[in-house]
Amino acid sequence: MPRVAFQRLCHLYSRMEESYLLAAREIGLSCTDCPDNCCTSYFQHHTRVEWAYFIKGLNQVHEHLRQRITMRAESYIQQAQLEMSQGRTPDIMCPVNEDGMCTLYAHRLMICRLHGVPNVHIRPDGKTFQFPGCFRAQKKTGSADPLSRLDRTPFYRELAALEKAFVGPRIARFPRVRLTLAEMIVQGPPKMSV
């Protein structure tokens, strides 16, 4: 089952990347020479299928790299807890990043693939959320509402369906996933039983 789920996830990731490239091209957005690094953004992730696929990638890298990532993940968790206890949103480099580059690029999670361009998400209850994109995207689009935003809705739906298939019929009994990548790294692969 994981093999099929991971294949479907890779296919979904490819389509996300295609949509991202189209949306970026449309507004002339490029990450080249950007003074910022999105990998310091604070994100939580919500699916076991992405979590398991990421850990699979982590287990394939050289042991020394894996140790460095794990040590940085431990310190990320402590620092993030401290910053949040002081009322701040953590702004800490992702433990997977070395010298400004993602060391697990092929296994990075959905949000790493969609962040940056202006986008929209329509929830099942019909509520719409719009995001203006990164600071560079906002400079490109100015105050104008970009006509074409990357629509995350079909991707979220498909990921939710994939998560259901991956976890199985008892999914409702599982606790909700709400973890940073650092927490996923330190916890290891998701538990697949309740």
Interacting residues with ligand SF4 (CB under 6 A): 39, 94, 96-97, 102, 104, 108, 112, 181
- Which structure tokens are listed for 92? 């800490």
Q: Which is nearer to ligand SF4, 146 or 159 (CB)?
A: 159
Question: How many residues belong to the chain?
Answer: 194
Q: Which is nearer to ligand SF4, 165 or 186 (by Cβ)?
A: 186
In whole angstroms, how close is the CB of 85 to ligand SF4 at the nearest point? 23
Helix axes 153-167, 48-60, angle to 10 degrees: 80
Q: How many CB atoms lie within 10 A of CB 120?
A: 15
Contacts of 25 (CB under 8 A, 6+ apart): none
Least distance CB 107 / ligand SF4 (angstroms): 8
d(CA 48, CA 9): 12
Please say which residue, 168 or 188, places its beta carbon nearer to ligand SF4: 188
125, with CB counted inside 10 A (0-12, 13-18, 19+), is exposed
Q: Cβ of residue 149: shortest distance to ligand SF4, in angstroms?
A: 21
**Burial class for 1, CB neighbours closer than 10 Å (0-12, 13-18, 19+):** exposed
Helix (H) or strand (E) holding 80: helix 63-85
Instruction: Compute the least distance from the CB of residue 105 to ligand SF4, in Å.
Output: 6
Q: Find the shortest distance in angstroms from Cβ 83 to ligand SF4.
A: 17
| Residue 81 backbone dihedrals phi, psi, to 5 degrees | -65, -40
Q: Which is nearer to ligand SF4, 108 or 140 (CB)?
A: 108
Nearer to ligand SF4, 94 or 177 (CB): 94
